[in-house]
A and B are shown apart, each in its own frame.
Chain A
Amino acid sequence: METVSYKCINCEAPLQYNPQKLKFYCEYCRSEYTEDQLRAHFGSLDQQLNQQAVSEDVAPTDVPEGFEEFSSNTVMYTCQSCGAEVITDKTTAATFCIYCHNPVVLSNRLTGAFKPDRVIPFQIAEQDAQDRFFAFCAKKRFLPKSFIAQAELDKIKGVYYPYWLVDSLKDGCLYATAKKIRTWTVGDEEYTETKTYRVKRAGKIDFHDFPYPALNGEHSKALKYVNPYDDKDFRPFTMAYLSGFLAEKRNTERTDVQTDVDKELKEYATRIYKNTITDYDTVEVNSVEVHTLQEKWNYALMPVWMMNFQYEGKDYLYAMNGQTGKNYGELPISKGKLAAFAAILFVLLLAICMLGGWFLS
């Protein structure tokens, strides 16, 4: 397994990407480098690796005896810094050596067909992510007190996750039945006039950068709802951005997710057509037809801060968009606080209702 470890040009210590400064820095000699400086230094290495077009399935020939049972899902690499042998799972593309904490990019996972077209570098640093998370928790009144303790948050990790970005030009039409309802009164008679319309809307919709998680697994829902990302920070992919973070490579092909993407785009198309049907009291969609004129799929890595917690024996996963800070995840709820709130609300409502009843009777 080939690995890339971006070393400081000055002292050869590991380099890491700093989201706050948007620069690469060396925590030993405190040197800082821009993307252009690194590209000038490491660019040839990236190009060389990309030209190899390594096959998707890296044969785990380097897995020693005793690891056969994991061989389909694990690969071993040798840390260039300390020489330790480290095992990663099949989709890991960037990680740390668990012994010397040296950031390592597994270059074979990100070359050839698996080379991402674009990347959004982390914009939120780890400390900032934690601060935002605790500020968010402080507003949540039903969180258990023990959950908010700093000690609980020891598993925060910055991960670049793979996404398909779909540009799709669709042509289609929507048929609907819409109604206008008018009511007026003459004497003791109330009249209601219902006008029924057959409505058709047809046109082209140009979907741009529709994101779909390219990693199947337990995190796919979190990966969906940390979106949207802002296009302005898209950069051409270079492995240097992964240094100091974890990264996953995609484990789906376009054909695996095409049906799901088409289904979601059809739902969006329905909403877009429906939004043009105004001035009616009710709109009932009868049918929608959509077909694809052009489609282009891009592969990109997006930054996500992943936080794992345990509360009362249950695992909780919380994801934060590494660019915008948008959150998604399940939070534990304090049953005691919720019960107390429910009891107080119930008593208050009961008192108000009974007083209201007394005044009205």
Chain B
Amino acid sequence: MMKKLFQRTVMVCGTAAVLMAGGLSAAAVTPEEVPVPLTEAAAVTIAEEERLVTVSVTEGDAGYDIVLTDTDTKDDSQKKSPNWGMIIPVSLVISLVVTGIAVWMIYRGYKYNGMTEPYEFKNKAPLDLKEREDDLIDVHVTSVHINRGNDN
């Protein structure tokens, strides 16, 4: 009975593992990009349908570049893929630094546990303030030009 149960469990797990591996492999394969034969007429159709953007199509090196321009703000933005070459190293550095700081703080907390103020000076050392002077000796003003972004 136990042997049978074990065999079935192994079978289910094996199947699941194969399916997962297959799924992951399929997801990892990037389909070959085929340039879309978008014409000027198609761009106009999209613009009419959406009523939000105007579409201009130009022939690029590896196909067509699609530029979307917001009809209200006149802002145009080119669709880009994430810059993983930058994101991965920055993420690695940030994660490493934050993890290092967290580990160091934990280690210090264990090494110097309870190192707090040994003398309650606020209660046990009253101050009788006799003299209090605050003399203005210098005023200095600096200015910085703000570079505002061009909306056009």
Interface residues of A (CB under 8 A from B): 140, 142-143, 173, 178, 185, 188-211, 224-228, 268, 271-273, 276, 326-333, 338, 341-342, 345-346, 349-350, 353-354, 357-358, 361
Confirm or deny: B31 has a beta carbon within 8 angstroms of a beta carbon on chain A: no
- The answer to whether B9 has its CB under 8 Å from any CB of chain A is no
CA distance A358 to B134 in the complex (A): 52
Residues on A with beta carbons closer than 8 Å to the beta carbon of B98: 345, 349
Q: Do A142 and B106 have beta carbons less than 8 Å apart?
A: yes
Q: Which residue of B lies closest to A269 (CB)?
A: B125
A-B contacts, 21 listed (Cβ < 8 Å) = A140-B110, A178-B134, A188-B146, A192-B142, A195-B138, A196-B136, A196-B139, A199-B135, A200-B133, A201-B133, A202-B132, A203-B131, A204-B130, A207-B121, A227-B118, A268-B119, A268-B121, A276-B132, A338-B103, A346-B96, A349-B94
Given contacts A192-B143, A228-B119, 17 further A-B contacts (CB under 8 A): A143-B110, A189-B143, A191-B142, A194-B141, A196-B140, A203-B127, A211-B119, A226-B114, A226-B118, A227-B119, A333-B107, A345-B99, A349-B95, A353-B90, A357-B86, A357-B90, A361-B83
Known: A189-B145, A197-B135, A202-B131. A210 touches B99 (CB 8 A): no
Are B146 and A204 interface neighbours, CB within 8 A? no
User: Which chain B residue has the least Cβ–Cβ distance from A210?
Assistant: B119
Contact B130 A224 (CB under 8 A): no
Q: Give B50 Cβ to nearest chain A Cβ, in Å.
A: 23
Q: Is A224 touching B118 in the complex (CB atoms < 8 A)?
A: yes
Structural contact, A191 and B143, CB atoms closer than 8 A: yes
Distance, CA A118 to CA B106, complexed state (A): 38
Specify which chain A residues have a CB less than 8 angstroms from the CB of B87 in the assembled complex.
353-354, 357-358, 361
Of A197, A211, A354, most B-chain CB atoms within 10 Å: A354
Contacts of B135 in A (CB 8 A): 197-199
Give min CB distance, A337 to chain B, whole Å.
10
Asked whether B91 is an interface residue with its Cβ less than 8 Å from the other chain, the reply is yes
B32 at the interface (CB under 8 A from A): no
Query: A189 contacts B146, CB within 8 Å?
Result: yes
Given A203-B127, A205-B126, A268-B125, A331 and B110 contact (CB-CB distance below 8 Å): yes
Taking the closest CB of chain B, its distance from the CB of A215, in whole angstroms, is 15
Closest to B81 in A: A361
Tally of B interface residues using CB under 8 Å? 54
* A327 and B114 in contact, given A189-B143, A200-B131, A204-B128 (Cβ under 8 angstroms): yes
Are the CB atoms of B99 and A342 closer together than 8 Å? yes
Nearest 8 Cβ contacts at the A-B interface: A357-B87, A353-B91, A328-B114, A202-B131, A349-B95, A227-B118, A203-B129, A196-B138
- CA–CA, A341 to B109, complex, Å? 15
A328 to B113, CA, bound (A): 6
Is A271's CB under 8 angstroms from B95's CB? no
| Nearest chain A CB to B27 CB, angstrom units | 16
Asked if B124 and A208 sit within 8 Å, CB to CB, the answer is: yes
Q: Does B28 contact A (CB under 8 A)?
A: no
Whether A204 and B127, one on each chain, are in contact in the complex, defined by CB atoms closer than 8 angstroms, is: yes
Cβ-neighbour of B125 out of A191, A201, A205 (below 8 A): A205
**Counting CB contacts under 8 A, is B120 at the interface?**
yes
Q: Could you tell me which residues of chain B, from 72 to 94, have a CB within 8 Å of some CB in chain A? A: 80, 82-83, 86-88, 90-92, 94
Separation in Å of the A95 CB from the closest CB of chain B?
27
B126 contacts across to A, CB distance below 8 A: 205-206
Contact of B92 among A140, A142, A197, A350 (CB under 8 A): A350
B1 adjacent to chain A (CB < 8 Å)? no
CA distance A227 to B118 in the complex (A): 5
Residues of A within 8 A of B4 (CB): none
Q: Tell me whether B150 is interfacial, beta carbon within 8 Å.
A: no
Whether the Cβ atoms of A330 and B113 lie closer than 8 Å is yes
Complexed CA–CA distance, A112 and B144 (Å): 73
B41 interface contact, C-beta 8 A: no
Query: Counting CB contacts under 8 A, is B111 at the interface?
Result: yes
Residue from B95, B137, B141 with most neighbouring chain A CB atoms (10 Å): B95
Which chain A residue shows the least CB distance to B102?
A345
A198→B25 CA distance, assembly (Å): 70
